[in-house]
């Protein structure tokens, strides 16, 4: 089977992170079957068009590594295909599957006032202002689909199985607006047919539209080549209570967009690696059937199948995204070395390598190398309270001795020994001094392995920092 899939965003704003997941599943299926990934910009709703959104979508896909085979150059935009939709909708009118309607919005408003459940359908259409009812007009008109009355339409969804809808719930949808622009339904079905799309993989919110699409395929006589449908589970709020929205993400303090958009910070700018985002997103709704969690894009292409997509919504757990980021940062030692050198002019390669080595299991984001690693370049200017609380005559004695020992023997390999020497000469337990030592060196109580950190700093610098703390301790007490 020739697998041809499309990602069909509407440029009405920034791409939501859930949209990236939809694009990803399409891409994985295409690559797995050596098929084609198409980008189609569904920009027929001119009122909702947002300048910049299309480029934003393209850049976001590029950032996460989703490659487009068709539709990028030249760009496929529905707004530029108006004539095609006109031609196809005329066929539906000719075959009696669609009709012209002349009702004004005031007319329809009036109907709704009379009956709040009013629907333009088989029950009402013959008394309204349209060509089926024998009306004619030179004024503005729309073209509506003549939805067959009271039949069951079954959508065979690859994720949900058979989903049946009765057409009595479906109104006669507008296919072509009075300005000659197609609506989503018409353009979507015509394009999926003309572009020989094999699988329509999209969000669950489009499931209610699927029966209409099936009816359109039938009306066009394209039933035999109709694409297969796969409606993806929703992304849920972290507590599982309803669909994830931008507001939920803002409230919980995590990004909702892949890249910066207006005032909103994107995943990229927040410090997430594209590999981590891909890995995190793919598992929101799909499972490999094994315990494996870390997947490269190539491994995903190999492992992916639509059958393993879950029906149930997936809870959005940002901690999991951070965990993936951590895993990928660990794998990227050499890149982190370059990053550190690029951001600290006072850091040579050897020092950068050693810092990355001691920090790499502790950081979540690349920028943490700069914050957690600041003490490697600058002596602390403030100290954790614990220093005041724990400072004692014994500490004064011990640190005075330690400073002296370090000045005498600055061998960077001798820190452990020097600490023990100072401890035995002052009769103080070294273990009870380690927390103060850490505060003296780093300013805080948590951080990477202390001895390794001191080795990187070197004995003279460590001795200077200890000297400062002795003065501070004397003043503080
Ligand atoms: N333009 C629709 C969207 O923005 C596409 C839905 C579909 O894939 O059919 O999501």
Interhelix angle 274-282/318-331, nearest 10 degrees: 130
Distance 10 CA to ligand 1 centre (A): 7
Counting runs of H as helices and runs of E as strands, what totals does the chain give?
19, 11
For residue 1, the model assigns a pLDDT of: 79
Nearest-atom index, ligand 1, CA of 184: 1
Contacts of 19 (CB under 8 A, 6+ apart): 9, 57
Give the residue ranges of DSSP H helices in 165-257.
184-194, 210-220, 246-252
Give CA–CA dist 384/397, Å, rounded: 20
Asked if pLDDT for residue 263 goes beyond 70, the answer is: yes
pLDDT of residue 377: 97
pLDDT of residue 199: 98
Select from 315, 321, 323 the least CA-distant residue to 254. Answer: 321
Percent over 70 (pLDDT), the chain = 100
Angle subtended by helix axes 393-408 and 415-426, to nearest 10: 130
Is the distance from CB of 400 to CB of 470 less than 8 angstroms? yes
> pLDDT tens-digit profile of 312-351?
999 999 999 999 999 999 999 999 999 999 999 999 999 9
At residue 432 the predicted structure's pLDDT band, cuts being 50, 70 and 90, is very high
Residue 226 has pLDDT above 80, yes or no: yes
Counting from 1 in the atom list of ligand 1, the atom nearest the Cα of 209 is 9
pLDDT range class, residue 45, cuts 50, 70, 90: very high
pLDDT tens readout for residues 280-310: 999 999 999 999 999 999 999 999 999 999 9
Cα 8 to middle of ligand 1, angstroms? 5
Judged against a pLDDT cut of 80, whether residue 241 lies above it is answered with: yes
pLDDT at 477 over 70: no
State whether the beta carbon of 209 lies less than 6 angstroms from ligand 1: no
Distance 208 CA to ligand 1 centre (A): 13
Whole-model pTM? 0.92
Predicted pLDDT at 396: 97
Residue whose structure tokens are 């030692």: 333
Which residues, including other chains, have CB under 8 Å from residue 277's CB and lie 6 or more apart? 17, 20, 64, 258, 267, 321, 324
Place of tokens 């060196």: 441
pLDDT value, residue 169: 87
Please work out whether the CB of residue 8 comes within 6 Å of at least one atom of ligand 1.
Answer: yes
pLDDT band at 212 (very low <50, low <70, confident <90, very high): very high
Ligand 1 closest atom vs CA 19: 10
**How does the average pLDDT of the chain come out, rounded?**
96
Mean of the pLDDT values across residues 244-273?
A: 96
Mean pLDDT of 132-145: 96
Q: Is 468 a catalytic residue?
A: no
Strand partners, 165: 153
10 lines ligand 1 (CB under 6 A): yes
b/e per residue, 271-298, with b = 16+ CB within 10 A?
A: bbbbbbbbbbbbbbbbebeeeeeebebe
pLDDT at 231: 98
Q: CB of 188 closer than 6 A to ligand 1?
A: yes
Q: Which tens digit of pLDDT belongs to each residue from 357-388?
A: 999 999 999 999 999 999 999 999 999 999 99
Beta strand 161-166 with 174-176 is unpaired
Catalytic residue among 86, 135, 246, 332: 246
Nearest to 325 by CA among 271, 284, 287, 283: 271
| 42 Cα nearest atom in ligand 1 | 1
Q: For residue 233, what are the contacts with CB-CB under 8 A and spacing of at least 6?
A: 159, 204, 285, 309, 310, 311, 312, 313, 314
């Amino acid at each position: 089977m020739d697998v041809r899939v499309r990602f069909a965003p509407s440029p009405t704003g920034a791409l939501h992170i859930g949209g990236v997941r939809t694009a990803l599943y399409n891409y994985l299926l295409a690559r797995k079957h050596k098929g084609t990934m198409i980008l189609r910009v569904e920009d027929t709703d001119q009122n909702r068009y947002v300048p910049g959104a299309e480029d934003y979508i393209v850049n976001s896909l590029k950032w996460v590594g989703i490659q487009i085979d068709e539709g990028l150059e030249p760009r496929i935009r529905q707004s530029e295909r108006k004539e095609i939709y006109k031609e196809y909708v005329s066929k539906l009118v000719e075959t009696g599957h669609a009709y012209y309607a002349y009702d004004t919005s005031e007319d329809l408003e009036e109907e709704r006032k009379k009956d709040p459940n009013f629907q333009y359908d088989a029950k009402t259409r013959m008394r309204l202002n349209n060509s089926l009812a024998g009306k004619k007009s030179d004024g503005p008109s729309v073209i509506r689909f003549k939805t067959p009355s009271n039949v069951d339409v079954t959508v065979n969804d690859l994720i949900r199985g058979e989903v049946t809808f009765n057409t009595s719930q479906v109104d006669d949808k507008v296919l072509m607006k009075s300005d000659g622009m197609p609506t989503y339904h018409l353009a979507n079905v015509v394009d999926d047919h003309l572009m020989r799309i094999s699988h329509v993989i999209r969000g669950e919110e489009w499931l209610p539209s699927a029966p209409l699409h099936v009816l359109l395929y039938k009306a066009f006589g394209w039933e035999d080549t109709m694409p297969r449908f796969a409606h993806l589970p929703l992304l849920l709020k972290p507590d599982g209570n309803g669909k994830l929205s931008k507001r939920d993400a803002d409230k919980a303090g995590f990004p909702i967009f892949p890249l910066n958009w207006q005032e909103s910070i994107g995943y990229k700018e927040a410090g997430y690696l594209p590999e981590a985002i891909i890995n995190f997103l793919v598992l929101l709704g799909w499972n490999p059937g094994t315990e494996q969690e870390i997947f490269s894009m190539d491994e995903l292409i190999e492992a992916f199948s639509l059958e393993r997509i879950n029906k149930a919504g997936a809870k959005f757990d940002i901690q999991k995204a951070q965990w993936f980021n951590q895993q990928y940062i660990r794998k990227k030692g050499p890149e982190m070395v370059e990053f550190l050198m690029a951001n600290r002019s006072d850091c040579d390669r050897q020092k950068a390598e050693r810092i990355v080595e001691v920090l790499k299991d502790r950081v979540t984001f690349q920028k943490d190398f700069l914050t957690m690693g600041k003490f490697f370049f600058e002596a602390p200017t403030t100290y954790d309270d614990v220093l005041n609380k724990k400072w004692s005559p014994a500490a004064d004695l011990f640190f005075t001795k330690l400073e002296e020992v370090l000045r005498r023997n600055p061998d960077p390999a001798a820190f452990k020994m020097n600490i023990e020497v100072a401890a035995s000469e002052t009769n103080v337990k070294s273990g009870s001094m380690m927390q103060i030592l850490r505060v003296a060196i780093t300013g805080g109580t948590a951080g990477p392995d202390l001895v390794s950190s001191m080795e990187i700093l070197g004995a003279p610098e460590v001795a200077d920092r200890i000297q400062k703390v002795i003065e501070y301790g004397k003043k503080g007490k």
